[in-house]
Amino acid sequence: MAVTAFQDLPLADRDREWDGDAAEKRVRRWAGAQDEPNEKYRDAHVWYDADKKDNFTAYKLLIADVIGDQLTAVPRGVMAAGAVMQGSRGGVDLPEDDIDRVKSHLAKYYRKMDDTAPWED
């Protein structure tokens, strides 16, 4: 199990719509990961199961999309991942040992958005 390294991706406009399914398709195409995930694909997510890294289903908490041919963190994607970590969207099944690191990763993007992560209130 692994939390991805913080990439400090540029931020999209805060009001940009978030469509995770469409973003997933664009990220796969941009990363050249049509057949299996690779490192560029991984960078768009906050967490992945390192034991199953060759399976797309091993990747969780997509927060980025491809905008102008650049991987970009989307504030609404970050907030959706934050809501998942708070359990308001059904939660996500992560190892207990990774939860604090995932929240820390997401909190960096919240700060970059001049906002506070929901668990830091």
Asked whether residue 90 carries a pLDDT value surpassing 70, the answer given is: no
The whole-model pTM stands at: 0.93
Asked whether residue 99 carries a pLDDT value surpassing 80, the answer given is: yes
Highest mean pLDDT among 72-76, 84-88, 93-97: 72-76
**Would strands 59-62 and 64-67 be described as parallel, antiparallel, or unpaired?**
unpaired
Q: CB of 20 within 8 A of CB of 80? A: yes
Beta-bridge mates of residue 45: 62
- What mean pLDDT do residues 41-60 have? 96
Residues of the chain with pLDDT > 90, as a percent, come to: 84
pLDDT tier, 86 (very low <50, low <70, confident <90, very high otherwise)? confident
Q: CB of 63 within 8 A of CB of 11? A: no
- Average pLDDT for the chain: 93
- What mean pLDDT do residues 44-59 have? 96
pLDDT tier, 87 (very low <50, low <70, confident <90, very high otherwise)? confident
What pLDDT score does 45 carry?
A: 98
pLDDT tier, 89 (very low <50, low <70, confident <90, very high otherwise)? low
Give the E-state strand segments of 18-119 in sequence order. Answer: 45-48, 59-62, 64-67, 70-73
d(C-alpha 111, C-alpha 33), whole Å: 30
d(C-alpha 101, C-alpha 104), whole Å: 5
